[in-house]
Amino acid sequence: MVQQLAELQTSTRIEAKFRKPTLNDGQSLWRMARNSKVLDLNSSYSYLLWCRDFAATSIVATVDGEPAGFITGYMRPDESGTLMVWQVAVDEAFRGRRLAAAMLERLSLQVDAHRVETTITADNEASIRLFTGFAARRKAALERQPLFTRDLYPDGHDTEFLYRIGPLD
pLDDT tens, position by position, 102-160: 999 999 999 999 999 999 999 999 999 999 999 999 999 999 999 999 999 999 899 99
DSSP code, position 40: P
Peptide linkage before 21 cis (omega within 30 of 0): no
Q: Do residues 165 and 131 lie in contact, with contact meaning Cβ atoms separated by under 8 Å?
A: yes
The residues with which 59 forms a beta bridge, in sequence order, are 71
Determine the structural domain holding residue 64 and report its residue range. 2-165
Domain count for the chain, please give it. Answer: 1
CATH of the domain at 87: 3.40.630.30
Please give the helix or strand (H or E) that residue 47 lies within, else none. Answer: helix 44-53
**Angle between the 2-11 and 99-110 helix axes, to the nearest 10 degrees?**
150
pLDDT band at 20 (very low <50, low <70, confident <90, very high): very high
